[in-house]
Amino acid sequence: MAAAIYAATALQMCRTAMSFTTQSAFRTNRRAVNSITSSLNHGLYMSTETDANVEKETTLVNNRIPIGSLTSLDSRAVIDNLDLVLSHLKSRRASDKTMDAARQIASRNDERVALIKARDGALQTRNEQSKMIGMLMRNPDRDEKEVEEAKRLSSEAAEEASASEEKLEVLEAEVSALLASIPNLLDDLTPDGDDENSNEEVESWGDVKSLPAKLGWPEDDSFDPLWHDDVAMNLNGWKGENAVAISGARFIALSGHVARLERAISSFFP
């Protein structure tokens, strides 16, 4: 706003000055005014665009920050987008432990950066001292005390680099464990809610009430159809325990006829 007022004042001053000029000078000053006007309009436009971007960034979608181009999570994504990640965890009704895991990943980044700098600095010192040792050893008039000092510094730097690397490996393993406890981000279209009852019905087809008659089921409700997973388990094609052992919870493995049926259905539908 201050910039806009200053710009308007400057423009008015230019216009006032023009009234006291000759016709020739008027043309020159007019070009200057046009240039200033163009610059001011451009500046005001950029300011409006910036304000719109800020507003867009702070606009919530389904009570959380929209994911934008962020589709997957790694430690860097959590560090750079902590507020976004926390808003999605809140929408998932995540536990305090899971929320704290995201905060720990972000807070431990400074420690990680410090360890990397310490390791790299120590490696650089080791290399410099190793080079110095080589130069001294090629000198027949070398000072043995300088050689020993260079060896000592090289050895200490190597130990420091190794210690920093070990700490870094432990830290990254801990961060990886924390990251594994954080669920995926929600799609922006996913409504906010406590359970599936908050889901919005986008489209439906068919009439579930007419299905029994169409399939020839008894009208006395004596037939109780099975869920798809029960059918697959009865066909010995639903390997839930095997999938958990391979990939963890919320995964499933199929085998035999069930696996072939699943592949055929996925190939049939585009």
Which tens digit of pLDDT belongs to each residue from 130-155?
Answer: 999 999 999 998 899 999 999 999 99
Establish if 135 belongs to a structural domain. yes
Q: Same domain, yes or no, for 166 and 96? A: yes
Domain endpoint, select from 127, 161, 180 = 180
Mean pLDDT of 205-209: 83
> Band of the pLDDT at 216, cuts 50, 70, 90?
confident
CATH of the domain at 90: 1.10.287
Which tens digit of pLDDT belongs to each residue from 65-98?
Answer: 999 889 889 999 999 999 999 999 999 999 999 9
Q: Same domain, yes or no, for 7 and 41? A: yes
Q: Same domain, yes or no, for 84 and 143? A: yes
Q: What is the pTM of this model?
A: 0.55
In degrees rounded to 5, what are phi and psi of residue 209? -70, -25
Q: Same domain, yes or no, for 145 and 81? A: yes
In total, the chain counts a number of residues equal to: 270
Taking the C-alpha atoms of residue 222 and residue 121, their distance in angstroms, rounded to an integer, is 77
Residue 160 has what pLDDT?
Answer: 96
Q: Same domain, yes or no, for 156 and 84? A: yes
Residue 120 has what pLDDT?
Answer: 97
Structural domain harbouring 34: 2-58
> Band of the pLDDT at 123, cuts 50, 70, 90?
very high
Establish if 185 belongs to a structural domain. no
- The torsion defined by the Cα of 246, 249, 255 and 257, in degrees rounded to 10, comes to -170
Establish if 229 belongs to a structural domain. yes
Establish if 70 belongs to a structural domain. no
Mean pLDDT of 223-229: 87
Q: Same domain, yes or no, for 37 and 85? A: no
Q: Same domain, yes or no, for 86 and 171? A: yes
Q: Same domain, yes or no, for 79 and 176? A: yes
Q: Same domain, yes or no, for 99 and 151? A: yes
Taking the C-alpha atoms of residue 64 and residue 29, their distance in angstroms, rounded to an integer, is 52
Domain endpoint, select from 11, 29, 58 = 58
Q: Same domain, yes or no, for 47 and 91? A: no
Establish if 69 belongs to a structural domain. no
Q: Same domain, yes or no, for 80 and 173? A: yes
Taking the C-alpha atoms of residue 89 and residue 99, their distance in angstroms, rounded to an integer, is 7
Domain endpoint, select from 130, 162, 180 = 180
Establish if 193 belongs to a structural domain. no
- pLDDT at position 15 over 80: no
CA angle 101, 106, 111 (to 5 degrees): 110
Number of domains comprising the chain: 3
Of the chain, the end-to-end C-alpha distance in Å amounts to 54
Q: Same domain, yes or no, for 101 and 129? A: yes
Establish if 201 belongs to a structural domain. no
Establish if 246 belongs to a structural domain. yes
